[in-house]
Amino acid sequence: MGHTATARAGSGGLTATEHRLANGLRVVLSEDHLTPVAAVCLWYDVGSRHEVKGRTGLAHLFEHLMFQGSASVPGNGHFELVQGAGGSLNGTTSFERTNYFETMPTHQLELALWLEADRMGSLLAALDDESMENQRDVVKNERRQRYDNVPYGTAFERLTALAYPEGHPYHHTPIGSMADLDAASLEDARTFFRTYYAPNNAVLSVVGDIDPEQTLAWIEKYFGTIPSHDGKQPPRDGSLPDVIGEQLREEIVEEVPARALMAAYRLPHDGTRECDAADVALTILGGGESSLLHNRLVRRDQTAVAAGFGMLRLAGAPSLGWLDVKTSSGVEIPAIEAAVDEELARFAAEGPTAEEMERAQAQLEREWLDRLSTVAGRADELCRYAVLFGDPQLALTAVQRVLDITAEEVQAVAAARLRPDNRAVLVYEPLAADGTGGEEGEEGEENADSDENEGAEQ
Q: Per DSSP, what are the bridge partners of residue 322?
A: 264, 310
pLDDT-derived band of residue 53, with 50, 70 and 90 as boundaries? Answer: confident
Contact between 8 and 397 under an 8 Å Cβ cutoff? The reply is: yes
Q: Give the pLDDT confidence of 278-307 residue by residue, as tens digits.
A: 999 999 999 999 999 999 999 999 999 999
Q: What percent of the chain has pLDDT over 70?
A: 92
* pLDDT confidence band for 230 (50 / 70 / 90): confident
**Residues 46-56: what's their mean pLDDT?**
92
Average pLDDT over residues 78-103: 97
Mean pLDDT for the chain overall = 91
Please name which of 220, 269, 272, 264 lies closest in space to residue 244, comparing C-alpha atoms. 264
Residue 388 and residue 315 in contact, taking contact as beta carbons nearer than 8 Å: yes
Q: What is the mean pLDDT of residues 311-317?
A: 97
Which pLDDT score, from 0 to 100, does residue 2 have? 47
**Confidence band, pLDDT 50/70/90 cuts, at residue 233:** confident
Q: Which of 110, 48, 41 is nearest to 385 (CA)?
A: 41
Q: Give the model's pLDDT for residue 412.
A: 98
Angle of the 273-286 helix axis to the 354-373 helix axis, nearest 10: 110
Q: Other C-beta atoms within 10 Å of 81: how many?
A: 18
Distance from C-alpha of 438 to C-alpha of 406, rounded to nearest angstrom: 45
Does residue 458 register a pLDDT over 50?
A: no
Instruction: Output the pLDDT for position 11.
Output: 53
pLDDT for 355 beyond 60: yes
Residues 49 and 170 sit within 8 Å (Cβ to Cβ):
yes
Predicted TM-score of the model (pTM): 0.91
442/257 Cα distance (integer angstroms): 7
- Averaged pLDDT for residues 159-176: 95
Quick one: average pLDDT of 195-217?
A: 97
Q: What is the arithmetic mean of pLDDT over 19-48? A: 97
**Of the given ranges (158-172, 235-249, 434-448), which has the lowest mean pLDDT?**
434-448
pLDDT at 449: 34
Min mean pLDDT across 261-270, 303-312, 406-415, 447-456 is at: 447-456
**pLDDT for position 443:** 33
Are 405 and 280 in contact by the 8 Å Cβ rule? The answer is yes
In angstroms, rounded to a whole number, what is the distance separating the alpha carbons of residues 200 and 197?
9
pLDDT attached to residue 418 = 98
Quickly state the pLDDT bin for 317 (edges 50, 70, 90): very high
Query: Any bridge partners for residue 19, and if so which?
Result: 27
- Give the sheet arrangement for strand 319-327, strand by strand: 246-254, 422-430, 260-267, 319-327, 304-312
Q: Predicted confidence band at 435 (pLDDT cuts at 50, 70, 90)?
A: low
The yes-or-no verdict on residue 454 having pLDDT over 80 is no
Q: Residue 34: phi, psi to the nearest 5?
A: -65, -40
In this prediction, residues 163-186 reach a mean pLDDT of 93
- pLDDT at position 438, please? 55
Mean pLDDT of 95-102: 98
Q: Measure the CA–CA gap between 62 and 439, rounded to whole angstroms.
A: 43
Inform me whether the pLDDT recorded for 441 exceeds 70. Answer: no
Residues 6+ apart with CB under 8 A from 87: 102, 103, 104, 105, 108, 112
Band of residue 320 on the pLDDT scale cut at 50, 70, 90: very high
The Cα 164–Cα 166 span in angstroms is: 7
